[in-house]
Structure 1
Amino acid sequence: MDEDCLTVNVVRPAGTKPSDSLPVLVWIYGGGFTEGGSGDQRYNMSFLVNTSVEKETPMIMVSFNYRVAGFGFLAGPAIEAEGNENLGLHDQRMVLAWIQENIHAFGGDPARVTISGESAGAASVGFHLLAHGGRDDQLFSAAIAESGGPFFYKALSSAAIREQQYDAALKATGCAGANDTLACLRTVPADKFDPVFKQHLWTPMVDGGLIPDFTSKLLHQGKFVKAPLLIGANTNEGTIILPVLSTIGVNTTAEFYEAIENINDGQLLSNGTLHRFDKLYQEAVSHPAENLGTVSPDPGLPYGSLYGKTSLVIGDAMLSAGRRIAARTWADSGLPAYSYRFDTVPGGIDPVTLGATHFQEVAFVFRNTQGVGYESDPFAVDSELRKKFDGLAELMSSMWISFVNSHSPNNHHGMFHDTL
């Protein structure tokens, strides 16, 4: 564990010259603002850059590390008094400024930078779109958000939670009795924080500057960078998130309501709202093929009889609804917005209990058809399905490259393939 982790990776086509002025795609990794790194080989950028050359629309890709968990998002009164909150997002913004100043030397065009990310990376993209109330600092010209985006699904880190996390860090490091607790924390080796940081969930906070208000308010007020947006989510986002928030054994209406309230840190909802959720999502699971894909509403033990329904509402509340809200907001503002739903179940993923769940589109976007970095190769399927998977990876990577080059995913030479 080392806090000195801020590195930048640049992948460009062979022979690129500074005068080429190629468009640039920036990748921001996810991991719940708690873990992750640009060295993860699942994010190997060579495949996508190579595809851009094959399609005769070459581009450069950039990825980087930023501080996560408490290193990037520890707050509390002492830290906030210094203005040192949301450091992970400031790391990201610093890299975006570095790209503007330096990418020309690598053959890139600073005026054609698209920021992209998945999950917390997509949420980060959203925060940059909303940063400083939508102030356009000319750091990027377009944005791609996979399973996340500018509408953050819950209230950002509250003052009570921030103080609780700060106090936990003090106790774990022996700094609780120090006269200057923040100065004491700064003397503690980074690896000493790891156990306590892993006990908490981390999110950015409203700081009055970089994040001036809640994302829903900023979107409603039109305070976002007016840039083309490609945004999407997966059919079964909630299946992998449900065990984190509740239990897979949801059998009763009371347990269903509890799972819903856990989405927003246990904040209570009115009975009327809960009943409406119950009715709406019961109607949705009555058409499982359309709304759940391959996932069973009731897969049997140890899964509860309301498993499919609960996973659907969690995925919708946390990610899919945000996709709809963002796309509608962009469209209402007269801005280009393109929306997708990923509905393919990769190899190694149980179709009945997980389906097209969170993160599963990444291998296809990166055209990582060799499964580099994966414990279970997403392309390890029978030969007939493998051809379709290869075709889908070609199509999705081509559409992403098209968006980077033209701000539309539809100007490409990829072939449209049968629905999987």
Structure 2
Amino acid sequence: MLPATARAAATDAAAEASAATPADGPVVTTDTGKVRGTAGGGVREFKGIPYAEPPVGMLRFAPPRQALPWRGVREATRYGNACPQVSRYGLTQASDTEDCLTLNITLPDTGATPGPRQKKKPVIVWIHGGAFVGGSSALYPLATMATAGDVVVVSFNYRLGVLGFMPHPAFPASHNGGFGLEDQRLAMRWVKRNIAAFGGDPDNITVAGESAGAASICMHLIAPKETEGLFRRAIVQSGGCAHPLREVAAAATAVGDKVAEKVGCGDKAGADKSAALACLRKAKVTDLLAAAAEVGGADLMAFSPVYGTKTVPMQSFEALRQGRFVKVPVLNGGDAEELRLYVAYDVQAGAKITAESYPDDLKAVYADTTPTVLKDYPVTAYSSAPTALGSVMSDFSPKVGLNNCIYLEAGKLMRKHVPVYEYVFGDPAAPPVTPDPGFEMGPVHSSELPYQFPHFDNTTKLAGPDLAPPSQKLADQMMAYWTSFARTGIPVAAGSPAWPRYTAETAVMNLTPGHVGPFDASAAHKCGFWKPLYPGFLTQ
């Protein structure tokens, strides 16, 4: 790693070189230097702004460090590199570039340069998903959200998988297994300090995310000493806040030690942890990614947040039950058929799920409760065995937190302390987010994203350019609800049904074309059936 002065000089040179290119885009001054973006299509956009130093050398497997200042004007017209990852399910593109900690800002172009006398706009900070091992901010076009809601929208990249969420006995104890979350918090602090220069209100920030992005928000909520004051509201889309986390020490042994061994660093731990850490910091990124893929296998939780550190101090559902979380209004929910998507991934990978195998498929998830589950969820009630399996798990699964009863559980725990607005996204005509698996899908995990981010690019490009008219109407309603919540803390859409606060089972918003309005989601997803079977998960 270069000394600080040398790194600063290199940063200055790069900024000055880019500034030598003639440009007439809007220029904004941040606390680390000036950036030049683009204007067009009704928005101003600034892309690829560094919020942290590249996490290489001594900063690999360490908390992030604030970006160094630069001289001149830095071009901010292209997205930064995606953080290291392998391609998964054809939804993400591989990357092995560690210099990836950048953010993007999109705001409505009013024709005037944001200034101290202009009214500041609400800010939405979007955290991308990807199972903590994939994805990037570049997949989410922010312009429609910014213009439709008259808000400033921010997105960013953060370390993923083995580099961002792997715990190991040699890593710093306070942040072990949580470097990706620390990246996110550093980005949020950057936004808090700088967003006023882009016309955003630093005192009216909503943090929002889907899947791993939403689960990250759950982690930020339950670490009030680390995140208090960084955001005023939270939008959690398919986050599973009430699902159990892994404990750091156990995960370090189950995952970290095995990865270290596969890259030739396992025999260096012993009593001298510094030797193991030094070895892991020198390992090739491609070797770490390959080792992580082998160790993680099909385990969706292998590289996900752990608790028992300063980053995530305690078990998530316990923090919610005890009211030990950041007290802000929350908009929370998920997709009606969440886990049909993961059944599709299994089928696409060669799994044979049939009516004959259905009992055994259920047993792999529900163990001794399988006979009871079979009675309430017979395969004959569905169009196919894969559809049935996906629907059962979408109601409740003890294995994966992406299910509707867990979402409702989190809402019930949080509503004792803060305003909560709960929803279920249920558009049966939602665009596909994976190639046709040969069975009925419907509104699966991540199906709502094209409604928020038109032309959402998961590299499969399946959604097409436009939604069908009923779905587009729902998208417009959702955009109004979401941005209203970011503005005031209450989701309101002109001409659409009132969204009640989640105070009763029947006060969950049904986001389905032709049926938008409150309904009893607990009954729809049979949470009363699941509660006595899994009282440790469903307590409310």
Same fold (TM over 0.5): yes
Instruction: Show structure 1 runs of 5+ residues with no match.
Output: 53-57, 262-270, 289-296
Q: State the 1:281 CA deviation.
A: 4.4
Match of 2:483, SS state, is helix
Is residue 2:114 matched to residue 1:24?
A: no
Q: Deviation string for 1:27-75 (max 9, x for gaps)? A: 00111111111112xx1001111212xxxxx210000010010100121
**Alignment partner of 1:147 out of 231, 238, 243:** 238
How do residues 357-376 of structure 1 correspond to structure 2 at under 5 angstroms?
357-366=444-453, 368=454, 370=455, 375-376=460-461
Quote the Cα distance in structure 2 between the aligned partners of 1:255 and 1:373. Answer: 29
Percent of residue pairs identical: 29
Quote the Cα distance in structure 1 between the aligned partners of 2:267 and 2:390. Answer: 47
Change (3 A) 1:387 1:164: same
Quote the Cα distance in structure 2 between the aligned partners of 1:76 and 1:373. Answer: 31
Find the structure with the greater CA-based Rg. Answer: 2
Quote the Cα distance in structure 2 between the aligned partners of 1:348 and 1:85. Answer: 33
**Alignment partner of 2:312 out of 204, 211, 228:** 211
How do residues 242-281 of structure 1 correspond to structure 2 at under 5 angstroms?
242=343, 249=353, 251-260=357-366, 271=368, 273-281=369-377
How do residues 25-174 of structure 1 correspond to structure 2 at under 5 angstroms?
25-40=124-139, 43-52=140-149, 58-81=150-173, 83-132=175-224, 137-151=228-242, 153-157=243-247, 159-174=249-264
- RMSD, aligned CA: 2.9
Q: Deviation string for 1:149-201 (max 9, x for gaps)? A: 432x2332553442232233323322233361111111223233121122323
Q: State the 1:376 CA deviation.
A: 3.9
Change (3 A) 1:391 1:221: same
Change (3 A) 1:158 1:207: closer
Match of 2:171, SS state, is helix
Is residue 2:494 matched to residue 1:413?
A: yes
Match of 2:403, SS state, is helix
**Alignment partner of 2:426 out of 328, 339, 343:** 343
Change (3 A) 1:373 1:257: closer
Q: Deviation string for 1:95-128 (max 9, x for gaps)? A: 1111111111111111100000000100001111
Quote the Cα distance in structure 1 between the aligned partners of 2:495 and 2:460. Answer: 28
Q: State the 1:257 CA deviation.
A: 1.8
Is residue 2:407 matched to residue 1:326?
A: no
User: Is the 1:74–1:166 contact (alpha carbons within 8 Å) kept by the matching residues of 2?
Assistant: yes
Instruction: Show structure 2 runs of 5+ residues with no match.
Output: 1-95, 297-301, 498-512, 517-540
Quote the Cα distance in structure 1 between the aligned partners of 2:164 and 2:328. Answer: 27
User: Is the 1:11–1:46 contact (alpha carbons within 8 Å) kept by the matching residues of 2?
Assistant: yes
User: Is the 1:231–1:323 contact (alpha carbons within 8 Å) kept by the matching residues of 2?
Assistant: yes
**Alignment partner of 2:384 out of 279, 286, 299:** 299
Is residue 2:516 matched to residue 1:402?
A: no
Q: State the 1:318 CA deviation.
A: 3.1
Determine the structure 2 residue equivalent to 1:231: 332
Using the TM superposition, name which of 160-169 and 201-210 deviates more: 160-169
Quote the Cα distance in structure 2 between the aligned partners of 1:35 and 1:217. Answer: 28
Change (3 A) 1:305 1:329: closer
Quote the Cα distance in structure 2 between the aligned partners of 1:5 and 1:22. Answer: 28
Match of 1:39, SS state, is helix
Q: State the 1:311 CA deviation.
A: 5.4
Q: State the 1:393 CA deviation.
A: 1.3
User: Is the 2:335–2:443 contact (alpha carbons within 8 Å) kept by the matching residues of 1?
Assistant: yes
Match of 1:91, SS state, is helix
Quote the Cα distance in structure 2 between the aligned partners of 1:127 and 1:373. Answer: 25
Quote the Cα distance in structure 2 between the aligned partners of 1:310 and 1:318. Answer: 9
Change (3 A) 1:414 1:324: same
Quote the Cα distance in structure 1 between the aligned partners of 2:462 and 2:361. Answer: 35
User: Is the 2:251–2:306 contact (alpha carbons within 8 Å) kept by the matching residues of 1?
Assistant: no
Q: State the 1:136 CA deviation.
A: 5.7
Quote the Cα distance in structure 2 between the aligned partners of 1:136 and 1:157. Answer: 21
Q: Tell me which protein shows more helix as a share of its residues.
A: 1
TM-score (norm 2): 0.64
Of structures 1 and 2, the one scoring higher in RCO (CA 8 A, sep 6+) is 1
Match of 2:137, SS state, is coil
Q: State the 1:398 CA deviation.
A: 1.1
Change (3 A) 1:181 1:407: same
User: Is the 1:170–1:185 contact (alpha carbons within 8 Å) kept by the matching residues of 2?
Assistant: yes
